[in-house]
Structure formats: C-alpha cells, structure tokens
C-alpha cells in the first residue's frame, strides 16, 4: 500500500492507496515541531481507526511546504517502511513541463494538483485550491504548467480581520443566505464568503481570458465545499485531487518507462 501525504501550512491531508483505489483518507492539523515518532504515532492511530496500521504501508509519497516536516517524513519512511519516501521536488518525474520563470519556486502541492487535474479532465484547466492560501494554477491545453495566482486564504483573512478590529468577532463561516447582513455576524459572513466567491469568479474569468476560454475550473482543498455551490466559474469539485496527483506521480517514478 502507498501512503500519500500532503503537508500544508495549516493542515496535512493523507490517504492510503491500494493500486489506483483510495482506501482511507484523513486530515489533521499541521504541527511544525512534530518529531518523527509523533508523526508515526499520528498516522498509525488514524489508520488503526480505519482497521489498518502503519505496518501495512509499503511506500510513501510526500508533497510538503514545511521543510522541517519534509525531513521528518523522510525519516519516518526509512524507519517504518525501510524504503525512501518519494518527495515531490526537483528531479522527480511529473510528466508536466513547467514553463514559468523559475520552476524551482513552485510549491510541490501546486504541481501535484496540476498533474491530477490535467489527467482527469484533459485540455486546459485551472485548479483553485482553498487552503492557507487560495491558489490558482493554470495548465495549458498542451499539458504545460504555465503559472497562476496566489491570494490569502479564507481562514487567514478571517483571523487577520479579527486580530486587527477589536470589536469584530470570530464567526462560524456559513452561508448567511443574503448579501445584506442585518447583524455584525451576518455582515462578516456575507463579506467573507460572498467576497471570496466574487474574488474567485473574477480571477477565473481573467485567467481563462489569458489561458483558454474553454479551460475547466476545478476546485479542491479543505474549504472548497463552502465556495463551490456559490461559484459561477467552478465546474468541478475534486476533494481528493492532491492525493490522486501524489499517487499518479509516485506511479510515474516507480513504473519503468513512464513519465518524463
């Protein structure tokens, strides 16, 4: 079995594959100071809740934006699986040319999402990943990663607003049902949720105009479920897109004659 790990700044998504089938998945808070043993205990306990264990896993693939945890997962794989982890980065085959000015500065999760989206839908596509940041990643019809955009994530915006405005509350982020808020909570929910939707739709319109008017817009990430029902531009919702991409790239790098 393959353990796929996507380490984000706020949350870590994980999944276990048997071949192409995703058997288990879970999401935990990212703790930057976690030790090797703490990482092992965390994922083993999540697997045991699902009737498996870390001992059932043979291989690991990791995309990480937290360098200290990248090292931790490398060590975990070596100790508990007796095999090196495949860490997405320079030198790893993805099958996707990266045509931006400095390919090495693109986050591993963004490339993984782009690979999975192009594999699923073909042609030009735009991936909107709702995480700590809201990432927009563009893939050409020829399957090239051509760049994108980054904006503050929903939770980051909420925390910044609450931290800077003493009289504004931390709120539950739900659809208020109306753009005109009739209370402070309703006004905050409207501004944050509908404001994010307007930003996403506006950005996608601009990106499609530059990339390809027929580009498919795909959403993923922990907060995507809030935005997808309200968006005019998002056409597809793939909650496991990053995990799927990790599995695909692992296959490319382990099966003879595959990838580039």
Active-site residues, by number, are 109
- DSSP state letter for 98: B
- CA–CA dist 70, 52 (Å, integer): 24
Q: Which two tokens stand for residue 151?
A: 């904006």
Strand 59-64's sheet: what is its strand order? 21-29, 11-18, 2-7, 59-64, 86-87
Distance spanning both ends of the chain, measured CA to CA: 24
CA dist 250 and 83 (Å) reads 13
Structure tokens at 42: 């965390």
Distant-in-sequence contacts of 17-22, Cβ < 8 A, 24+ apart: 17/243, 17/247, 20/247, 22/240, 22/243, 22/244, 22/247
Helix (H, G, I), strand (E, B) or coil at 107: coil
Task: Give dist(CA 260, CA 257) in Å, integer.
Answer: 9
**Strand order, beta sheet including 216-220:** 145-152, 133-139, 125-130, 216-220, 236-237
């Amino acid at each position: 079995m393959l353990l796929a790990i996507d380490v984000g700044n706020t949350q870590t998504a994980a999944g276990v594959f048997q071949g192409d089938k995703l058997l288990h998945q879970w999401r935990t808070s990212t703790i930057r100071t976690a030790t090797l043993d703490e990482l092992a205990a965390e994922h083993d306990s999540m697997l045991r809740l699902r009737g498996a264990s870390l001992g059932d896993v043979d291989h690991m693939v990791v995309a990480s934006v937290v360098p200290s945890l990248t090292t931790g997962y490398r060590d975990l794989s070596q100790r508990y699986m007796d095999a090196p982890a495949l860490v997405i980065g320079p030198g790893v085959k993805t099958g996707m040319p990266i045509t931006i000015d400095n390919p090495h500065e693109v986050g591993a999760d963004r490339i993984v999402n782009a690979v999975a989206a192009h594999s699923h839908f073909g042609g030009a596509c735009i991936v909107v990943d709702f995480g700590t940041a809201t990432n927009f990643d563009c893939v050409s019809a020829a399957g090239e990663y051509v760049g994108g955009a980054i904006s503050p994530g929903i939770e980051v915006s909420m925390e910044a607003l609450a931290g800077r405005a003493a009289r504004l509350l931390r709120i539950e982020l739900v659809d208020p049902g109306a753009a005109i808020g009739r209370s402070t909570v309703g006004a905050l929910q409207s501004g944050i949720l509908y404001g994010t939707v307007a930003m996403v739709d506006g950005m996608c319109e601009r990106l499609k105009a530059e990339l390809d008017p027929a580009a498919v817009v795909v959403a993923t990430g922990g907060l995507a479920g809030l935005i997808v029902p309200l968006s005019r531009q998002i056409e597809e919702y793939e909650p496991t897109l990053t995990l799927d991409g990790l599995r695909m790239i692992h296959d490319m790098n382990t099966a003879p004659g595959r990838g580039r």
